[in-house]
Structure 1
């Protein structure tokens, strides 16, 4: 299946998820991640503000922030790349150009993600064997992930059924090291 058809299939499946499923999945994923020592010790976390039926990150961001982590969220640049700014509580956000909430704090630049000790990214699907993630198709997170060091944990948040045995890949597609599903954290087997 090509990327466009796979995206359509996954977005249609996500549209059918109930509010209860979305809520319980978010809570399970949040608790699973917060139970990991390497998440608890992460001083600077790059995350994303979820929208729609994406695995919800709002409670996770708040919990990380309340536990003392500095959380950076992306700010969409006109060229499609991601700048980064610090989340400083719910009142520190404002709608960005696409209606996605973004921090109003000072922009730290596209390379700020290099300093993160944990990177949490959105994905529509991830390939179980290679760790290649399927995004929305604009390449913003592929560019951001290309800046992350090889020893920094990168985690894609997924719903059940989105960790697949095959995801179409192109040379620019970046891999993640972990997938967080509701109740299960999986270290992927790629180098």
Structure 2
């Protein structure tokens, strides 16, 4: 299974890395428009999100829109154990470079269970199946975080359109999401619980 996941990840990352800066920028704006129009996000008080890196669909427009809409935004802080802690984000002035090329908030940590207080949880990924099985980068950080999120919470992976609805290798510890958002729109998955 590990070999299969590695092969799929390599293929997806190669495709992502071929996207131009303009395509990435357009994707970031489209994802932001779709999510901020979603009823789950409009009625949310707290949104757990992340700062995109590399060829991931950008999150800067989304984070700005969430703050402008008066949402409480919490972002992850990667711990040495590969688990995620969380901290409040109030703007780019709260961000600092962190290991693995990440940008993380420098505000006080809220604890790993803070993600359970979010009304919406937005996570990164490389692909998602037609039933919400998410393929991440392989560290398990977001699977652990998603395991703390109450059933029924809107959990959404940000992807490019070609990465939604594709078969992904799944292991028992992998946590599904309830939706995927790409520049093409939001796809919601039927609950499997």
Q: TM-score, normalized by length of structure 2?
A: 0.95
Q: How many angstroms apart in 2 are the aligned matches of 1:190 and 1:67?
A: 28
| Structure 1 match to 2:89 | 87
What are structure 2's unaligned runs of at least 5 residues? none
| Structure 1 match to 2:175 | 174
| Structure 1 match to 2:164 | 163
| Structure 2 match to 1:97 | 99
| Structure 2 match to 1:137 | 138
In the TM superposition, residue 169 of structure 1 has moved relative to its aligned partner by 0.4
Q: How many angstroms apart in 1 are the aligned matches of 2:128 and 2:142?
A: 13
What are structure 1's unaligned runs of at least 5 residues? none
Q: How many angstroms apart in 1 are the aligned matches of 2:156 and 2:39?
A: 14
Query: Map of 1:8-157 to 2, 5 A cutoff?
Result: 8-129=10-131, 131-157=132-158
Q: How many angstroms apart in 1 are the aligned matches of 2:139 and 2:93?
A: 28
Q: How many angstroms apart in 2 are the aligned matches of 1:90 and 1:66?
A: 13
Q: How many angstroms apart in 1 are the aligned matches of 2:87 and 2:182?
A: 26
In the TM superposition, residue 98 of structure 1 has moved relative to its aligned partner by 2.2
Bigger drift between 181-190 and 41-50 goes to 181-190
Question: Which is helix-richer, 1 or 2?
Answer: 2
SS at match of 1:128: coil
Q: How many angstroms apart in 2 are the aligned matches of 1:57 and 1:42?
A: 18
Number of matched pairs: 190
Deviations 1:12-60 (A, max 9, x none): 0001001111111111111111111221121111001000110101110
Ranges of 4+ aligned residues in structure 1 off by more than 3 Å: none
